[in-house]
Copies of this chain bind each other. A is one copy, B any other.
Amino acid sequence: MNSSLRFLVAARRCEIEELEQLGRTGTLVGVIGELVHALQKERGLGNGYLGSGGKRFAGERAAQLVAGDEALRAVHNALDALSLNAQRLHNGARLFSRVADTLARLGTLPHLRERVRAQALSPAENTAAYARLVAGLLAVVFEAADGATDPGISRWLVAMFNFMQGKELAGQERAFGAAAFARGRSGDAQRQQWLHLIASQERCFDVFLEFSLGDLHRAWARLQADAVTAELERLRRIGCATAEGATFDAELAAEWFDCCTRRIDAMKTIEDELTQGLRALCATRAEEARAELARDTALLARLEAAHGPAETQEATPLADTGRLAAATTLAHAGQTDPLPSTPASSQYGRHLERSVMEMVQEQSRRLQAMSDELATVRASLDERKLVERAKGLLMAHRRLSEEEAHKLMRQTAMNQNRRLVEVAESVLAMADLLPAPAASVAAGR
Contact = CB atoms under 8 A, between A and B. Distances in A.
Given A72-B330, A96-B14, A339-B111, A440 B362 contact: yes
A254 interface: no
Interface string A130-157: 0000000000000000000101000000
Nearest to A357: B104
A56 interface: no
Contacts of A3: 76, 103, 107
Nearest to A326: B76
A88 B88 contact: yes
A365 B94 CA distance: 11
A11 B96 contact: yes
Greatest chain B CB density within 10 A among A93, A330, A339, A389 is at A93
Interface in A12-54: 12-15, 17-18
A377 to B, nearest CB: 12
Interface in A369-401: 369-373, 385, 388-389, 392, 396
B318 A73 contact: yes
B65 A100 contact: no
B107 A76 contact: no
Given A7-B83, A65-B336, A96-B10, A104 B323 contact: no
A5 B440 contact: no
B444 A372 contact: yes
B93 A339 contact: no
Interface string A306-320: 000000000001100
How many copies of this protein are present in the complex?
2
A240 to B, nearest CB: 35
The size bracket of the interface on A is: 35 or more
A1 B324 CA distance: 46
A68 B95 CA distance: 43
B106 A333 contact: yes
Contacts of A99: 7, 10-11
Interface in A94-127: 94-101, 103-104, 106-111, 113-114, 117
A94 B367 contact: yes
A231 interface: no
B103 A4 contact: yes
Given A103-B327, A324-B83, A8 B333 contact: no
Contacts of A443: 366, 369
A373 B385 CA distance: 13
18 contacts: A1-B104, A6-B83, A6-B100, A7-B103, A11-B93, A14-B87, A14-B89, A65-B336, A69-B334, A72-B330, A76-B330, A83-B324, A88-B88, A90-B91, A93-B367, A114-B339, A365-B440, A370-B444
Given A10-B83, A109-B333, 7 more contacts: A6-B83, A11-B95, A76-B318, A94-B371, A110-B335, A362-B440, A365-B441
